[in-house]
Structure 1
Amino acid sequence: MNNKTSRAAAAPNLLNPETLGIRLRTARKQLGWTLAQVAARSNVSITTISRAERGQLALGYENVAALAQALQLDMGTLFSHAYEQPPAGQGPVITRSGEGVAYRGLSFTYEFLATAAKGKPINPVLGTIHARQVNGPEDFARHAGVEFVYVISGKVQVHFETGEVAALDKGDSLYFDSRIGHAYISVGKSLAKVIGVITAESEQILLARQGQDLPGH
């Protein structure tokens, strides 16, 4: 088997909840913050943070993004293979087939791409949607920025807390404000696969929303 075939057949590197929990706890302790302080900054409950730090809970993207932002972590660094800071001024970052970092969330399996790139204004992911229905308000994710999704295979419904539902087939795409509660479900015979691009708000916009003074102002 040649190297190209071997790479294509490889499974993504799995980041388990225990490893993610250790990284979150390490970041919190480096900042000298309590669970309550992180909860206040992230709007994630103390119980959820505590269970996540102990590897007892698989977080959805909404909570991961909120905690990363509160703990001043770059998403690429958080989901990198070795949790290392990449060198400044790095060139193009290639993620070979099967070499992304996979994480099983509540309703998705995510494969994070370009994790070696630090400070990305976007977070590209491959996703497999496991959810088959929206059970209630708790299923809606909300996070800063905007979101773009393209359906690679299967059929998808994106439900919004406004009551709107976007039905997507293979080849369809959707762009929306991800601060609006949203939930993905697979509606075809097989689980849908998508590629998503998720942005984060800039520090200036985030501070403005929180009513804080902008740096230099």
Structure 2
Amino acid sequence: MSRPYQVLAAPCEFMFEEKRSTFTAVLSPAQEREVALAQLETLRRERPGASHYCWAYILGAAAQPESMAFSDDGEPGGTAGKPMLNVLEHREAGNCMAVVVRTFGGTKLGAGGLVRAYGAAVSGALDVALWSVVTPSIGISIAVGFALEERVRHCLEQHQMTVVAADYTTEVTLTANVPESAVSAITEELRELTSGAARIRPAD
């Protein structure tokens, strides 16, 4: 079963400075690759003239991502995008696009210095970020006689489970969104409530 996970709720940024080079981490919510890369292009237009626009993203839950990617954008391999992604993973930053806009200050930092700077910039932005929690849910179909409909609806409402559809034929079939972790418990409760009359299965 999937567990609840956190996702970035709003854009934020943080600037880290090292030997006159600035590393400005800009975090933006993103659920799709196209959205993440569009945010990157927006930053390139809004903040022209930077030395590098390195980025990393995680789409979906950080523990079980739907997709993740990164780019060093011309920095030495492994010194920017990957460290940024590592921080996002460690901090469980779901649905998060991170771009670090670097302005060169005239002093080379070396590979170790770059890894620390890019990681510190993203970490600082995560410290001020706002989050929301996503609880994975699935649809279940509950078929009962008309006399039991109100009882079933009341039970679902008590558990804050939303009925998203109702189909009326010779009986009523309710479709509800239920947290994955609660499917077994609500199935058992509904069967007890209806004395075994409810037929419950995954929704189509």
TM range (shorter): under 0.3
| Structure number with larger C-alpha Rg | 2
Q: Decide which structure has greater helix share.
A: 2
Q: Decide which structure has greater strand share.
A: 2
Larger relative contact order (CA 8 Å, sep ≥ 6)? 2
Per the normalisation by structure 2, the TM-score is 0.24
